[in-house]
């Protein structure tokens, strides 16, 4: 089965630094997502992206966050100035049509640790 | 707003035991319901889904029935195997809404 790949698997950064988390969605998918899970808490939606623009975002996704599809294959999440509370597992996902009952394909996640 | 509440873990069972992981939801409309599973070192994978009331989703011996009257979508399996050890996530998605709303996940460990 096709896979979503995420790099790196672990990222350690200092508070205030910028980080970019990278994802390669499945090649013929059109909808892209970022979710995160803080340790011990729920998996939370951050943002969805379609047709080169954000289609929906949560209240978590403030001005410190941005997403980009720079080259038609990668999908990145940038955090401009990391805070301690940004420490979490970040999951990228993609889907073909964005339909409500369609399955999302998730990557294995990037564990971000902000020190 | 929408929310999903699922059974706290971790859950430890012996091989061939019966499994139930409870999941209840709150939604303003008529959501689709999902169970996702995360095996060690892997991403979340769709296990099963149901899109309307009384639908039963099934896969790999797991089943869950969309119960509108009790707003529940409990996951069951009659006889678990060691290979079922994973974290299980209940989730919902409403029509016209991009996001999946997840529960906290339940870690299941099956011992031989």
Which chain B residues have any C-beta within 8 angstroms of a chain A C-beta?
Answer: 4, 31-32, 34, 36, 41-46, 49, 51, 89, 91, 93-105
HEC string of A41-107 equals CCEEEEEEEECCEEEEECCCCCCCEEEECCCCCCEEEEECCCCHHHCEEEEEEEECCCCCCCCCEEC
Tell me the pLDDT tens digit for each residue of B72-106: 999 999 999 999 999 999 999 998 888 999 999 99
Return the pLDDT at B97. Answer: 83
Q: Which of the 8 DSSP states describes residue B67?
A: B
**Which residue did the predictor score with more confidence, B96 or B56?**
B56
For residue A4, give the nearest of B31, B43, B51 by CB distance.
B43
Whether residues B93 and A58 touch (CB distance < 8 A) is answered with no
Residue A98, pLDDT score = 85
User: pLDDT grade, residue A60 (50/70/90)?
Assistant: very high
pLDDT at B22 over 90: yes
Share of chain A above pLDDT 70, in %: 100
């Amino acid at each position: 089965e096709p896979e979503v790949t995420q790099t790196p698997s672990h990222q350690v950064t200092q508070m205030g630094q910028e980080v970019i988390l990278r994802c390669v969605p499945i090649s013929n998918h059109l909808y892209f997502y970022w979710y995160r899970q803080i340790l011990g808490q729920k998996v939370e939606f951050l943002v969805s992206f379609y047709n080169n623009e954000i289609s929906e975002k949560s209240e978590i996704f403030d001005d410190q966050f941005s997403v980009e599809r720079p080259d038609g294959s990668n999908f990145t999440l940038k955090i401009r100035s990391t805070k301690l509370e940004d420490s979490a597992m970040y999951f990228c996902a993609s889907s073909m049509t964005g339909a409500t009952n369609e399955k999302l394909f998730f990557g294995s996640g990037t564990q971000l640790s902000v020190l | 707003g929408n929310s999903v509440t699922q059974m706290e873990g971790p859950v430890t069972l012996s091989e061939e035991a019966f499994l139930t992981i409870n999941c209840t939801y709150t939604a303003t409309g008529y959501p689709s319901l999902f169970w996702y599973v995360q095996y060690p070192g892997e991403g979340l994978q769709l296990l099963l889904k149901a899109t309307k009331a009384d639908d039963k989703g099934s896969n790999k011996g797991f089943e869950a029935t969309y119960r509108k009257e009790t707003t529940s979508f409990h996951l069951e399996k009659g006889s678990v195997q060691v290979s079922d050890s994973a974290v299980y996530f209940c989730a919902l998605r409403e029509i016209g809404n991009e996001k999946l709303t997840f529960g906290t996940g339940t870690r299941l460990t099956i011992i031989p």
